[in-house]
A and B are shown apart, each in its own frame.
Chain A
Amino acid sequence: MNRHARARNRAGVWATGFLATGLLGLACVLPGFARAAAPADLDDRVREIASELRCVVCQNLSVADSPSDLAKEMRNLVREMVQQGKSPKEIQDYFVSRYGEFVLLSPPKRGFNLLVWVLPFLAIGLGAGVIYLVVRRWTESSVAGRPPVDPAYAERVRRELEEREGR
């Protein structure tokens, strides 16, 4: 195929791809963001605070999610406290003073608890660092033992191979 046909073909592929991805994407999105614009009202604020509190009579559910009666009363209490103007921290502190740290679903970021917040990112950073060092060692060792190849020739070979395979 000559160069012009190839270029046209490429443009056609781009256009098709663009269109397909765009349509798929929009189909995903349109209903969802319709709700994005609503501002946070009382219910949302209550929900936010309640979702950080643990339902003490269930296993692992938050006060916001739990269908139990006590959770419903706790939600009502949170609503009252929000209406009285208490801040989320004050409401949380109240529940902690009655039920202990246990009632917070997310460990507060201080003291010993910092371990659970920091270690994951530390571990990943360490892992990525190790990979970098190891890969560097591996690439250096491989380059060292090879005869030099003419880069232009290598590129031409690669291009021809790819065209032959049809990619």
Chain B
Amino acid sequence: MTWKKLLIPLASVPVILLLAYGFWTDPKAIPSPLIQKAAPDFRLADFEGKELSLAGLKGTPVVLNFWASWCYPACYEEAPLLESTWRKYKEQGLIMLGVDIQDKEPDAREFIKRFSFTFPNGPDPGSKVSIDYGVYGVPETFFIDRQGRIAYKHVGALSPVLVEEQVQALLKGR
């Protein structure tokens, strides 16, 4: 059989290789275009009635977490970690903010009470802030540095190791 004829079956090899490559990709992981860009500003009223906004926080590192009371189990898993991180680092100048998306107020308040959140949390009417941050599921957490840039975005429940690492990096940064 001449080499020309071998070409016919061999033509299928690149296709197979491409499909094999597919095993290394995760169709659900979408990279965010906001990394290393300025974090979009927002104005929200928190559950206590006070205003939350990013503009006045320049110079301080911010951890911005998107959650929902119906987000089970991930939000329930990371909630204690959020509160404990806040208590540990608030004296060192870290700001933690929570945004409750597509939720009902009684359920949200129940969630806050259950995990004894002491950091500010506010609802996101119309999901404007969520869309502004490219949120497509809950929970999602944004680590914003002192210059107001998004240093890192995490999708899914946080782990203690990850939070430590990111918060330390934020606090060390200029």
Any A–B CB pair closer than 8 Å: yes
Closest to A96 in B: B33
A73 and B129 CA atoms in complex are apart in Å by: 11
Shortest beta-carbon distance from B134 to chain A in Å: 4
Number of A-B contacts (CB under 8 A): 44
Q: How many residues of B contact A (CB 8 A)?
A: 16
Whether the Cβ atoms of A100 and B136 lie closer than 8 Å is no
Q: Which of A73, A100, A102 contacts B127 (CB 8 A)?
A: A73
The proximity string for A residues 43-80 relative to B, scoring 1 for CB distances below 8 Å and 0 otherwise, is 00000000000001100000000000110011011000
Specify which chain A residues have a CB less than 8 angstroms from the CB of B130 in the assembled complex.
70, 73
Q: Which of B102, B128, B134 contacts A99 (CB 8 A)?
A: B134
Interface residues of B in 7-43 (CB under 8 A from A): 30-34
Q: Which of A57, A76, A100 contacts B134 (CB 8 A)?
A: A100
Q: How many residues of A contact B (CB 8 A)?
A: 14
Q: Which of A57, A77, A98, A102 contacts B126 (CB 8 A)?
A: A77
Whether the Cβ atoms of A99 and B126 lie closer than 8 Å is no
Closest to A77 in B: B131
Would A98 and B30 be within 8 Å (CB), given that A57-B137, A70-B127, A73-B126 are in contact?
no
A99 and B130 CA atoms in complex are apart in Å by: 11
Specify which chain B residues have a CB less than 8 angstroms from the CB of A96 in the assembled complex.
33
Closest to A57 in B: B136
Specify which chain A residues have a CB less than 8 angstroms from the CB of B131 in the assembled complex.
70, 73-74, 77, 98
Does A141 belong to the interface (CB within 8 Å)? no
The proximity string for A residues 90-128 relative to B, scoring 1 for CB distances below 8 Å and 0 otherwise, is 000000111110100000000000000000000000000
Would A70 and B102 be within 8 Å (CB), given that A57-B137, A98-B134, A100-B134 are in contact?
yes
The proximity string for B residues 122-154 relative to A, scoring 1 for CB distances below 8 Å and 0 otherwise, is 000011101111101100000000000000000
Whether the Cβ atoms of A98 and B34 lie closer than 8 Å is yes
A73 and B101 CA atoms in complex are apart in Å by: 11
Q: Which of A57, A74, A98, A102 has the most CB of B within 10 A?
A: A98
A97 and B35 CA atoms in complex are apart in Å by: 11
Q: Which of B31, B127, B128, B131 has the most CB of A within 10 A?
A: B131
A100 and B128 CA atoms in complex are apart in Å by: 17
**Given A77-B128, A102-B30; 8 other pairs, CB 8 A cutoff:** A70-B127, A73-B102, A74-B127, A74-B131, A77-B131, A99-B32, A99-B136, A100-B32
Interface, chain B (partner A; CB < 8 A): 30-34, 102, 126-128, 130-134, 136-137
